C-alpha cells in the first residue's frame, strides 16, 4: 500500500508515521505530502525525510470543487512518481488526512471513495460534525462533563465525521483535567495509533470498504 498525506498542520502525526517507517514497524510506503500553505511545519518533516511534497494554495474566490481537483492532481502526481506505481491497484493508493483542515468536496470523496483516512479527536459519533475540530472538540467534551474521551480513526465519506470507524481508543477525563492536558493526551494517542492503523491496512487486518 502507498499513501499520500494531506496535512495543513505542524505535522506531528506525520512525523510519528515517518518514524514508524524508519524503525520498520510500518511497511506501507509514503508517496509524499500535499499541504495548503508554504509556511506549514509539516513541510519541514517531509524535507527532513526526503519525501516529495506539493503546496496547493486555495485561490481567492476559488470554488471548493475546483480546489479539490487541483489537490487530486497533486496526489495523482505523487503516486505516479513512486517506483512501483505501475504495480499498484486503485485500492493500494490511500490518502491519509493528518490535520487537514479543509472539508473535502463531494466530488473529491467520489473520486477517492473508500480510500481516505482521517483521525478525529473524540469518540465519534459524539462531538463530530461541522465546527468540531481541534480545541473546539475538547472544549465541548469538557463542557458536557463527559467521563471519557478519545480518538477515532475512520474512513471519510460524504458527511462530516460520519464514515466507517476503523479504530477507537478511549481515555478517562481526569479530575484535574484541563484543555491542554486532554489535548496533549489525545494527541499522543493519535501519533501512536495512526501508523498502526496504516500497518493494519497494509497487512489486511483492516478494510477500508
Is there a domain that residue 135 lies in?
yes
* The pLDDT of residue 128 is above 80: yes
Q: What percent of the chain has a predicted confidence (pLDDT) above 90?
A: 84
Count of beta carbons in the 10 Å neighbourhood of residue 27: 12
- Report pLDDT digits (tens) over 28-57: 999 999 999 999 999 999 999 999 999 999
Instruction: Give pLDDT, residue 84.
Output: 63
Q: Provide the pLDDT confidence category of residue 153 given band limits of 50, 70 and 90.
A: very high
The pLDDT assigned to 82 comes to 78
Residue 138 belongs to what domain range? 2-202
Mean pLDDT value across the chain: 93
Instruction: Please check whether residue 207 lies inside any domain of the structure.
Output: no
Predicted local confidence at residue 165, as pLDDT: 96
C-alpha cell at 98: 493528518
**Catalytic, out of 2, 27, 120, 135:** 120
**What pLDDT digit, counting tens, does each position of 51-107 carry?**
999 999 999 999 999 999 999 999 999 998 875 655 666 668 999 999 998 989 999
Check if the beta carbon of residue 96 is closer than 8 Å to that of residue 176: no
Does any domain span residue 209? no
The structural domain count of the chain equals: 1
Q: In the chain, helix, strand, coil percent, each to 5? A: 40, 20, 40
Residue 176 is assigned to a structural domain of this protein: yes
Residue 208 lies in a domain: no
A 10 A CB-CB count for 192 gives 14
CATH number at residue 183: 3.40.50.170
As beta bridge partners, residue 4 has 32, 95
Contact at 8 Å (CB) between 5 and 34?
Answer: yes
Q: Is the pLDDT of residue 5 over 70?
A: yes
- Picking from 63, 62, 52, 68, the residue whose alpha carbon sits closest to that of residue 100 is 68
User: Can you give the pLDDT at residue 67?
Assistant: 97
Bigger pLDDT: 136 or 161?
136
Alpha helices in the chain (DSSP H): 12-22, 42-49, 64-80, 106-111, 135-143, 179-202
Full-model pTM = 0.92
* 120 has catalytic annotation: yes
Amino acid at each position: 500500500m502507498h499513501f499520500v498525506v494531506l496535512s495543513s498542520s505542524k505535522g506531528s502525526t506525520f512525523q510519528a508515521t515517518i518514524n514508524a517507517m524508519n524503525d520498520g514497524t510500518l511497511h506501507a510506503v509514503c508517496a509524499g505530502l500535499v499541504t495548503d500553505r508554504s509556511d506549514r511545519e509539516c513541510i519541514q518533516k517531509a524535507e527532513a525525510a526526503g519525501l516529495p511534497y506539493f503546496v496547493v494554495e486555495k485561490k481567492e474566490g476559488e470554488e471548493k470543487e475546483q480546489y479539490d481537483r487541483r489537490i487530486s492532481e497533486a496526489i495523482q502526481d505523487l503516486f505516479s512518481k513512486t517506483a512501483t506505481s505501475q504495480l499498484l491497484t486503485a485500492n493500494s493508493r490511500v490518502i491519509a488526512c493528518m490535520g487537514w483542515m479543509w472539508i473535502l468536496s463531494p466530488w473529491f470523496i467520489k473520486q477517492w471513495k473508500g480510500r481516505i483516512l482521517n483521525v478525529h479527536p473524540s469518540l465519534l459519533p459524539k462531538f463530530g460534525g461541522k465546527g468540531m475540530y481541534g480545541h473546539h472538540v475538547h472544549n465541548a467534551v469538557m463542557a458536557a462533563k463527559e467521563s471519557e474521551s478519545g480518538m477515532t480513526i475512520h474512513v471519510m465519506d460524504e458527511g462530516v465525521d460520519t464514515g466507517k470507524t476503523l479504530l477507537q481508543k478511549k481515555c478517562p477525563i481526569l479530575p484535574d483535567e484541563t484543555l491542554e492536558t486532554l489535548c496533549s493526551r489525545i494527541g499522543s494517542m493519535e501519533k501512536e495509533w495512526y501508523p498502526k492503523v496504516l500497518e493494519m491496512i497494509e497487512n489486511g487486518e483492516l478494510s477500508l470498504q
